[in-house]
Structure 1
């Protein structure tokens, strides 16, 4: 190993040097990343991305430097194996917030770095049921934690957060990964392998990482990982992923004498580790809105991402339960309409890839296809009123546009929009009166901008004009836009400061590239997340939104807010089908379930609850991919059927759940 003891302040790698991927992972122990974050980290190493892992503790278990150094050799061996490079590293020190941190850079692939803060890590009592130095410092004011090894540092809780925040600021990641901060069991009541319990260091490291992220907001994705409790869920990795994850862990285990004395006779992964290498699950905060889609027969299809399965699911009324469409996603899905009237879905995988699925006319699904060429920080925003076109913020800091290239489920390539300095990852899109799209975005400074499609040359994608400012108060996100009954775009956003819903309406010549706007109208309603927006058959605009987490839902109609008789954990979804207004949101507290509110002829129906979202069924999107021969076929048979929610034929004040009628299918051509 090459030694360079002097502190180094080398500039972090550029996004281009990282092939568009800059992962930053915070974990408590030397092996947490291998057991709980793989295969995601390994996939990014394989793709030529930059991966920087920060280990907060020395992971010494009170056994001193020799055990710590052995475990550090183990993670280096594992990452060298992931990168297909010799296990030769350059050792030096990195600096963050004035603190020296041990740093190792893979010699033949310097995109891979391991940083070791080396916080001492014995139990402070007899073991489980007691604190560790990290968990005590995180949870009890006035305590500090010391480091092990040659770089002597002492950290308070505030200094730990400062250091993690500086690491984020220096590196400018595309994704920050951490463990599960949501376990509410007090540290001193946690127990080994008890259902739902984690390690106090895991929880503390994640809470500190998330607090550091709040200090350094930016256009990066966030992914949290379930750790010990993942063993309570179904296996969701493919056989090839399990095999690869197991071999990577073995390279670590050969250097950790609590696992193995070396390669000879090593049976790892075994015991709990054997369960963990078969699974990868993600933290859910119960705040993800469902998606709604009209089935064309007066009913409503409901889609959701499973909080425990991480799979895309839809409601099946034939068995009165949810069915899984597969995939592994860390966030919401979006639905839209294809030109032939069938539903489409988009989902984002844990690596930032976007996947699309298309419904056939018989209610079955083609399978997932990758919309390659771009990694995005958030799920794309889709234009409302059922129009299949989407915009998303890429890892490159640019907004990108994509639309279907036909009715067979195929898509155009991603098109980069003009650069906008400081743009954030929550844009909105709408179709103007001239049929061309307009995209709205706000910057970190709260300024609002738009860009419009320009006329396209034959056979080419339409170009976009340079971004132009919108005269508006300082915004705090929450963008939504739609074309109204007068063919003018209505734009809504959250005003910074009071978080009120604020409205602008397009004025002047709707074909002019310079869009004029009405004075802003403060609707007096604070809200969180993104509003759901729709227009009825006459073009009258309606919004549904959530006032606060666990708080009331509101419907805004003709500019008038109406408080609904429902509290929710997630922002709502909204649709209007045959004159029936549907508002659907995740219920507050408890297991994952959704409340369906509907209004017909001015009267609200009895509320319907959809529960039983499956805890299994997730897996790689590629395992559920559409066959190339099936993509142009709109009627091939498939195993899963979509169902719908609709008003009862006998009582308009109640809702029923029914299976979608099956249409004749034709065999896919090969």
Structure 2
């Protein structure tokens, strides 16, 4: 395992600032009830959509039912296995930032409580801009987690080949093994659900619908067909031995209308494979994405300030959505609305179509 080198923010005092504010953030988030909150996530956006006065809405494309291949649950011998921790959550998201936008303050509450958190990002969120941009986003998420956990210690990284045949990259803080971030780096599907020319105009929607036979990760990992992707997600969930699972709202929910298509695909994947991963339906919480902007504001005051600090720390590494201060973050179309809201839904609340 080797250390990850993160891009410089050009501000030598940024790490110190994160350490100073973590105590206040822990207190603020620690007082929030976990059950009624939902995750927020932006995903990769096209420039023109960021500039719109209202938040962007994704294309609505019919998605084929996801039916995992029958077979035994993923085996305990998976190379992705992680030692079980206390009150473990496995969080599976479409893009790096879905968690801090749509799942905070719940996410920070998990970290502050001392519980175990295993995060998985299915796509690279690359917006057709390549691996370098995807790595910026990954560096931003590590920085955001550093702020929430109150440490700037290095993260180790290693590549893992799963039983499914997929290859993933895993990041673990050297001083906190109860946290991990695992990335598959599949190509971003775009707001249109049509992908980007640089990655073959294909994404999760086309793979699940069978219009493309396979997807190749943007880091040139092994290709995945729809069955292997389902096996991969099930294996990663099972390897974390979760007490709880959190993810994007699934396509079959009424709350998915207008969401990023990648969000819908990942939520549906998790919902479909949860039984194979030995996760009961009532242990999964699904977080409303883009359409949360149509719900009442439910994040305000110090809790909102703490949440925006985490987002701004991430955005300092994301060259597409960067914002200089809290006011600028909250004035961003879409992001400002999402940051002020967080809505999680359990199976019985999904309003299934």
Q: More strand by proportion, 1 or 2?
A: 1
Alpha-carbon distance change, 66 to 171 in structure 1, aligned in 2, over 3 angstroms: same
Deviation, structure 1 residue 143:
2.1
Gapped runs of 5+ residues in structure 1?
A: 186-193, 289-306, 309-568, 570-588, 590-670
Say if 1:138 and 1:208, in contact at 8 Å, map to a contact too: no
Say if 1:77 and 1:87, in contact at 8 Å, map to a contact too: no
Alpha-carbon distance change, 10 to 65 in structure 1, aligned in 2, over 3 angstroms: closer
Superposed CA deviations along residues 329-365 of structure 1, whole A, max 9, x for unmatched, are xxxxxxxxxxxxxxxxxxxxxxxxxxxxxxxxxxxxx
Say if 1:147 and 1:154, in contact at 8 Å, map to a contact too: yes
Give the corresponding residue for 2:319.
257
Superposed CA deviations along residues 633-666 of structure 1, whole A, max 9, x for unmatched, are xxxxxxxxxxxxxxxxxxxxxxxxxxxxxxxxxx
- Higher RCO, 1 or 2 (CA under 8 Å, sep at least 6)? 2
Deviation, structure 1 residue 141:
5.5
The structure with the larger Rg is 1
Deviation, structure 1 residue 22:
0.7
1:612-623 equivalent positions in 2, closer than 5 A: none
Equivalent pairs, count? 271
Q: Is residue 32 of structure 1 aligned with residue 93 of structure 2?
A: no
Q: TM-score, length-normalised on structure 2?
A: 0.69
Deviation, structure 1 residue 214:
2.3
User: Using the alignment, how far apart are the partners of 1:215 and 1:55 within structure 2?
Assistant: 19
Q: Is residue 139 of structure 1 aligned with residue 209 of structure 2?
A: yes
Alpha-carbon distance change, 170 to 10 in structure 1, aligned in 2, over 3 angstroms: closer
Give the corresponding residue for 1:244.
306
Give the corresponding residue for 2:194.
130
Say if 1:81 and 1:87, in contact at 8 Å, map to a contact too: no
User: Using the alignment, how far apart are the partners of 2:167 and 2:187 within structure 1?
Assistant: 15
Residue aligned with 1:214, SS: coil
Alpha-carbon distance change, 257 to 92 in structure 1, aligned in 2, over 3 angstroms: same
Residue aligned with 1:12, SS: coil
1:165-180 equivalent positions in 2, closer than 5 A: 165-180=234-249
Residue aligned with 1:79, SS: helix
Superposed CA deviations along residues 121-161 of structure 1, whole A, max 9, x for unmatched, are 254xxx63635411111222552111012x51211111110
Say if 1:3 and 1:92, in contact at 8 Å, map to a contact too: no
Give the corresponding residue for 1:108.
175
Alpha-carbon distance change, 283 to 84 in structure 1, aligned in 2, over 3 angstroms: same
Gapped runs of 5+ residues in structure 2?
A: 5-77, 196-201
User: Using the alignment, how far apart are the partners of 1:145 and 1:22 within structure 2?
Assistant: 30
- Aligned with residue 222 of structure 1, among 284, 302, 316: 284
Deviation, structure 1 residue 175:
0.6
Deviation, structure 1 residue 37:
1.1
Say if 2:285 and 2:346, in contact at 8 Å, map to a contact too: no
Deviation, structure 1 residue 239:
2.1
Residue aligned with 2:134, SS: helix
User: Using the alignment, how far apart are the partners of 2:105 and 2:160 within structure 1?
Assistant: 27
Give the corresponding residue for 1:55.
121
Give the corresponding residue for 1:160.
229
Q: More helix by proportion, 1 or 2?
A: 2
Alpha-carbon distance change, 128 to 47 in structure 1, aligned in 2, over 3 angstroms: same
Q: Is residue 209 of structure 1 aligned with residue 270 of structure 2?
A: yes
Say if 1:245 and 1:277, in contact at 8 Å, map to a contact too: yes
Deviation, structure 1 residue 98:
3.2
Superposed CA deviations along residues 94-114 of structure 1, whole A, max 9, x for unmatched, are 343232201100122121111
Deviation, structure 1 residue 238:
4.4
Alpha-carbon distance change, 57 to 65 in structure 1, aligned in 2, over 3 angstroms: same
Residue aligned with 2:170, SS: strand
Give the corresponding residue for 1:475.
none
Give the corresponding residue for 1:450.
none
- Aligned with residue 274 of structure 1, among 318, 321, 336: 336
1:528-547 equivalent positions in 2, closer than 5 A: none
Superposed CA deviations along residues 141-197 of structure 1, whole A, max 9, x for unmatched, are 552111012x51211111110011111221110111111114569xxxxxxxx9941
